Amino acid sequence: MKDMSDFVSAFAPASIGNVGVGFDMLGLALAGAGDRVLARRVDGDRVTVAEVRGLDGEIHPYLSNNADENTASIAAQALWDAHGDSGGVELKVHKGVPLQSGMGSSAASAVAGVVATNALLPAPLEIEALLPYALEGEKFASGGLHTDNVAPSLFGGLILCPEVLLPEVIRLPTPEGVSTVLLHPDLQVNTADARRALPRSVALKLWLEQQGLLAGFIHACATSDKELLYKSLRDVVIEPHRKGNVVCFEDVVAAAMKTGALGCTLSGSGPSIFALCSSNDAKNIASAMEQACRAQGIGCQSWVSTMNAPGASIES
Ligand code: HSE
């Protein structure tokens, strides 16, 4: 029996898809939460999953060891098929990101799986080259191609990643003195279902409005213009169709804005809700959001993060 020292360990952070203004094309890494994947070389020719554990260290109650159904192994297998050698790879997946949380849970596993497996390759790839393989895992989970969780989890920070420009993704500057607060209510939203429920077309007027908000937001981030950030952090296209899935949404947003947030909206397809705010206000805003959520009888957890949180890394 081999010991743990045979394993390479990779950590990949949680992330905020859409960042309100850029549906499927803007993502933000979140410090403080993430998935860990351990990988080692074994006999055989496939990527297998030895165990999936939750935050408590116990065997995960909902995720199985079936390598065809885990985003970490699906992504790792895609990488191994393209660049591996004749051996196999065994993974241990340690979930730190809650499932169906709107925090990029499937992406964090896919990214950590790929980063750990990459370290075992005869000739490891540059991190930029790992994106397409990590996306294979995400595609399986969400039933569509969207890069806005995988890219920030892999690279860290704020990433612009519209499908039309792939494989190119753009690392955007983050504003000085602005932090992220993310509230995760104890609810679940299935991303694939939430995507299927969206309308197939958008009125030109709304499209123009959202384009303007996205452009303004990117400029506000580049220039650390908090006033412009306040004006531009809004989702007029997607949020109206999704906020009804999160019963505490209106109250949590109202609490964040009343406490001085620059903007507050859904993280990915929800149920998580994030706010951007002056870093000095972050703790108060997190408490206010938690209080509003609990007042609805819904348990929750919150994180405060810098906007340029680091991406995935090898830990050992
Ligand atoms: N862009 C994706 C969506 C993110 O909103 O469906 C899912 O986390």
Domains of the chain (ranges; CATH) run 8-172+309-314 (3.30.230.10), 178-306 (3.30.70.890)
Evaluate: CB of 73 within 6 angstroms of ligand 1. Answer: no
Residues 147-202 have pLDDT tens digits of 999 999 999 999 999 999 999 999 999 999 999 999 999 999 998 899 999 999 99
For residues 281 and 289, what is the distance between their CA atoms, to the nearest angstrom? 12
Evaluate: CB of 18 within 6 angstroms of ligand 1. Answer: yes
Residues 238-289 have pLDDT tens digits of 999 999 999 999 999 999 999 999 999 999 999 999 999 999 999 999 999 9
**In terms of pLDDT, which residue wins out, 297 or 57?**
297
Out of 16, 21, 23, 153, give the residue to mutate to test ligand 1, the one with the largest number of ligand atoms within 8 Å of its CB. 23
| pTM of the predicted model over 0.85 | yes
Out of 16, 196, 269, 273, give the residue to mutate to test ligand 1, the one with the largest number of ligand atoms within 8 Å of its CB. 269
Residues 37-50 have pLDDT tens digits of 999 999 998 999 99
- pLDDT band per the 50, 70, 90 thresholds, residue 145: confident
Collapsed DSSP state (helix, strand, coil) of residue 303:
strand
DSSP class per residue in 74-143: HHHHHHHHHH--SSEEEEEEE--SPTTSSS-HHHHHHHHHHHHHHTTSSSPPPGGGGHHHHHHHHHHHHS
DSSP state of 62: S
